[in-house]
Structure 1
Amino acid sequence: MATVEFVKLVKRYGAIEVVHAIDLAINDGEFIVLVGPSGCGKSTSLRMLAGLEDISAGEIRIDGRVVNEVEPRDRDIAMVFQDYALYPHMSVYENMAFSLQYRKVPKREIDKRVREAASVLGLDPYLNRRPKQLSGGQRQRVAMGRAIVRKPQVFLFDEPLSNLDAKLRGSMRIEMKKLHQRLGVTTVYVTHDQVEAMTLADRVVVMNGGHIEQIGTPDEVYHAPASLFVAGFIGAPTMNLIPARVEAGGLKLDGTEAAVPLNADLDEGARVVFGLRPEDVEVVEEGTPPPGFVDLAAVVEVVEPLGADTLVFTSLGTHAVASRVRPEVRPAPGETVKLRCNLSRMHLFDADTGRAIGAPHTRADKGLAGGAARGVVHA
């Protein structure tokens, strides 16, 4: 196992810079997920770590050793690709053994490693099959087994589950989590799927436009997003975000008649963005809000029953607002309801910079810490 460091890492294609001097320190045995939209630089960063892309500037260190000029085969890493990259003419056993044979590992040691990996991944019954005789999930396990037998210092995964159906992705996430818990190998995982990021990672690295927006635990990036981008990217549905202006004693929400009380030291007239997660917005028909809550009138647009809960999409003036509510709550489209907002969960962002405003929000029930996680202002 090993530590991994990016130090002012840059990647350029000609005059176009696609990764902008990023810094990242990955601990020994940590599972790090790079997440972000297409084109954000996450796969390029992974490929530089693997040695498949040249580094334009900065350094990559594996266990303290600078590897900028080290050949991929000499970096002691193993990579699992999106398309599995299995040899179709070889059996599962042969695919898993190939890299060890190439390195002239003794046959007895090869057999031991392949069978150990097959046992861990549940591939024992399939060792004599060819890839075309396997399901997508089984092929992915073979690709993982081929990486495991090498016993590398670092595992690299480049969107390995994106070709699987939703059910299989869910089961494979569990298998990958178990595998990391068992092996404890430093792992760098790239995905555009925030569910994979939130469920697999020890820490999440949210990337945007070649920059790192935030580094934190899944709880930190969800409950205390450092920027508007993170707030609008993490979560399904994502955070409700409404532009607003600071007025005496509160916020005037743009495009509505609504005002929200505010207990924060902000200049009157300042432009901000008010944010609340859908689970912090309850749909009610009547009653008086308790202290720390405010009711806002909205019109129901769409109701999505999900079984365990229900998503209610409403219009608040000119803005769409999503609520995650109890499964039995089923208002009718067109109905006017009250959105009861939990202001202790309010997020505020600077409208110009997009950065979070306020002190770190510590939730005793979630054990959040500060660091890069900032941006909840208490009402």
Structure 2
Amino acid sequence: MNKNAVMALDAQYYLPVFARYPIVLERGEGPYVYDNEGKKYLDFLAGIAVNLLGHGHPGLVKAVAEQAGKLIHCSNLYYTEVQAKLVQKLAQRSGLERVFIANSGAEANEGAMKLARKYGKLQSESKVEIITAQHSFHGRTLATLTATAQEKYQKGYEPLPQGFSHVPFGDLTAMEAAVSAKTCAVLLEPIQGEGGVHVPPAGYLKAVRELCDKHGALLIFDEIQTGVGRTGTFFAYEQEGITPDIVTLAKGLAGGVPIGAFLAREEVAQAFHAGDHGSTFGGNPLACAAALAVMEAMEEEGLLDNANKLGQLLQDKLRQLAQKYPGVITTVRGRGLIVGAELAGQGRGIVEACLEKGVIINCTAGNVLRFVPPLNITAAHIEEVIAVLDGVLKEHGAF
């Protein structure tokens, strides 16, 4: 089918919930994707931080193909070796003793909040409040969009679930005022991704950890976007010298195969009993095999070091562009290979111009160019992106 035919089918039958760009992607190889007209694009969005190993990674392809030939799905009424191996690896990597495998980030966050509520009620029937940060993003189910303190995602879905409150991200004074005996958990992204790649002040997350301990509240880190090496360590929280009570993962964990997970301390996990939570597809052998392949590649290919080194190079290059175009880029921030370049105006036009020139990035929060490429990119790929962006900004001029 040609591009127009595909787009016409989508327009006729798909729910009108996506503002898609007018290309039809057909295949990928490494950090590149190709549309059905043969045009090549350098993919620095990676499925929104999902395609951790790029496209067509041999180890991932082999693991998925082999597992598909053996067993794709198995009910959680039974055991599988591949699931057991994955939860062992995640538990050992995190220092959190228990793991539940789901299908998405929203499901992982739902499960984490359910567990926090159940654990809180063991202490007091009133210990049910969950505190999140403004401009966060935790998912699109009713509970997770309530936790997502952005009105644009909540409008039209009222009444929203009760028991949530929101404070400014990085504001310790506001957090101290909000946490009380009724707080069962504080849920934070170590770096806000969808909210604009916001990095909290130094020491903030550690101070929140101490505050939660003081009030008997759980600390939950949403590492849907920052986890699995994106920031240069497997979990972003490792860089803060702390450990949460619960952490959630998804996106890059299986390199593109849908998966989610939440991990918890043993004491917290024991609040759940058989029948308290579940998932039909969660932890299926195909997704688990893909996740194991991703974790193996990360270890064997030095992807954490690469994310640190290449992330710093990307920020340095973007700051050079900010100096060259001071009326366009105002701030560059991030950690590892989650990087944001804040603009003085709206960014969609710049994203569209880059796409036309064969580079895929995106704009979040309206005015922040977001770069979340595969973790196995090279310096040459960064130079290619910067050259295209330089040309686009030159043509764009100041806002």
TM-score under structure 2 length normalisation: 0.27
Between 1 and 2, higher relative CO (CA 8 Å, sep ≥ 6) is seen in 2
Q: Which has the larger radius of gyration?
A: 1
Higher helix share goes to which structure?
Answer: 2
